[in-house]
Amino acid sequence: MTPPSSGVSAGAFDKRDNVVIFDTTMRDGEQSPGASMSHDEKLELAKILEEMGVDVIEAGFPIASNGDFEAVREIAKIVKNSTIAGLCRAHQVDIDRCAEALKGTQRGRIHVVIATSDLHMKHKLQMEPDAVIDVIARSVGHARNLRDDVEWSAEDATRSDRQFLRRAIETAIKAGATTINLPDTVGYTYPSEYADLFSWMVNNVEGADKVIFSTHCHNDLGLAVANSLAGVQGGARQIECAINGLGERAGNAALEEIVMALKVRGDKLPFETKIDTTHITRASRYVSAITGFPVQYNKAIVGKNAFAHESGIHQDGMLKNRETYEIMTPESVGQAPSSLVMGKHSGSHAFRAKLKDLGYELGQNALKEAFGRFKDLADRKKHVYDDDIIALVDDALARG
Ligand code: KIV
Ligand code: ZN
């Protein structure tokens, strides 16, 4: 069997390891109701993700529609530095269609999924567990005959019986899978539980050392990012995520949060990604613009307020040393420099700094007077703009 193309080994907890960043904005993200993207928008997004340094771009689900097929085919042709993945159910026809879409690239990955939880096997697939094992062997084997890079996903892995899941994973590895993904499909797991699932599989599955284990977390309980990081702690070396956390229902783990958590807290989880983080805001804004999904103001990393400070105490701290209230710089994620937002919580130090920026140097008395007027205005008005401050100071100066 050819070793995994990224050269990342499972299990080891080693500073030199990279975590593979697998972006699924165009596949799971597009499954978010109302988030569809046009062909050209997908091509543009693929270029942004490639420039950003994403390792694997899941560009679509080729059997789902001609549009998805064409998008995967074009992206596979134009992107040179990232692996392009296409999703398939464990059906020969899906796999053949995916392989066809990936023909134009040396770096194509066939991603095969089938459910392994009792609930899904009984009610959705209506198959006996032994029959699922046979399908895994056949579908992964077929995919591996077409491509060297094959990912197998155990849908609803976190609600699957552990012994059965182990058997299913061993079957996929024997059939040629190079990445094993254990999705938390319904966002049900807890960080400690997810970490334990990976460490148990890494230690108990025969052939675990030949593959990369991957996380894929949904955000139904708001735990997708925490669970993904816990998965890495347990031995996963690929994280599946999406820009702005786009994805089915409450979404997937947000790429920007995962990448910055690994970068800022390398002391806790010593793994690196290849992402150039200065491209993060551009990618976030682009995805928001093409899907029409606004980014909430207080969204971590990419929200409009992520580096804005209004309280007087915070503004005072920021003026003295920005590390008092910022754990990363806005520039490091491609955001505009931090802003001290002038509002009713602002203090006199920030007000004086703002006046200086606007070109005013007031004496003590005039400053006190202008600050009092500013506070009155801020009590009445939700947003105090630079023009409001200019008008207020000019008026105070004109009156002498
Ligand atoms: O959430 C999930 O289980 C998935 C699989 C297709 C990987 O999206
Ligand atoms: Zn998913």
Average pLDDT estimate for 328-339: 94
Q: What is the number of the ligand 1 atom nearest to the C-alpha of 31? A: 8
183 close to ligand 1 (CB < 6 Angstrom): yes
Question: Which residues touch 285 (CB under 8 Å, ≥6 apart)?
Answer: 295, 302
Asked if 240 and 252 touch (Cβ cutoff 8 Å), the reply is: yes
Q: Is 184 near ligand 1, meaning CB less than 6 Å away?
A: no
pLDDT at 7 over 60: no
Best mutation site among 155, 188, 240 for ligand 1 pocket (most ligand atoms within 8 Å of CB): 155
In this prediction, residue 184 carries a pLDDT of 98
Alpha-carbon distance of 280 to 243, in angstroms, equals: 8
Supply the pLDDT for residue 11.
44
Q: What is the pLDDT of residue 10?
A: 41
* pLDDT-based confidence at residue 2 (cuts at 50, 70, 90): very low
How much is the pLDDT for 16? 55
pTM here is 0.93
**What's the gap in Å between 216 CA and the centre of ligand 1?**
7
Nearest CA to ligand 1 atom 1: 185
Q: Classify the complex by whether its ipTM is higher than 0.95, answering yes or no.
A: yes
Q: What is the Å distance from ligand 2's center to 217 Cα?
A: 7
Gap from CA of 28 to ligand 2 centroid (Å): 6
User: How many residues are given for the chain?
Assistant: 400
Mean pLDDT computed over every residue of the chain: 94
For residue 308, pLDDT over 60 is answered with: yes
Among 185, 213, 249, the mutation site with the greatest number of ligand 1 atoms within 8 A of its Cβ is: 185
User: For residue 362, is pLDDT > 70?
Assistant: yes
Residue 218: strand pairing partners: 252
Name the closest ligand to CA 182.
1
**Is residue 113 lining ligand 1, measured as CB closer than 6 Å?**
yes
For the stretch 106-156, pLDDT in tens is 999 999 999 999 999 999 999 999 999 999 999 999 999 999 999 999 999
pLDDT digits (tens, 9 = 90+) for 17-52: 899 999 999 999 999 999 999 999 999 999 999 999
Higher pLDDT, 174 or 382: 174
Look at residue 282 and tell me whether its pLDDT is greater than 60. Answer: yes
Per-residue confidence (pLDDT) for residue 339, from 0 to 100: 87
Going by C-alpha positions, the residue among 203, 205, 124, 125 that lies closest to residue 164 is 205
* pLDDT digit string, tens, across residues 244-257: 999 999 999 999 99
Q: Which residues surround ligand 2, an ion (CB under 5 A)?
A: 28
Whether the CB of 224 sits within 6 Å of ligand 1: no
Residue 139 Cβ inside 6 Å of ligand 1? The answer reads: no
Q: What pLDDT is attached to residue 229?
A: 98
Spacing, Cα 170 to ligand 1 middle (Å)? 19
Give the atom of ligand 1 at the shortest distance from the alpha carbon of 181: 7
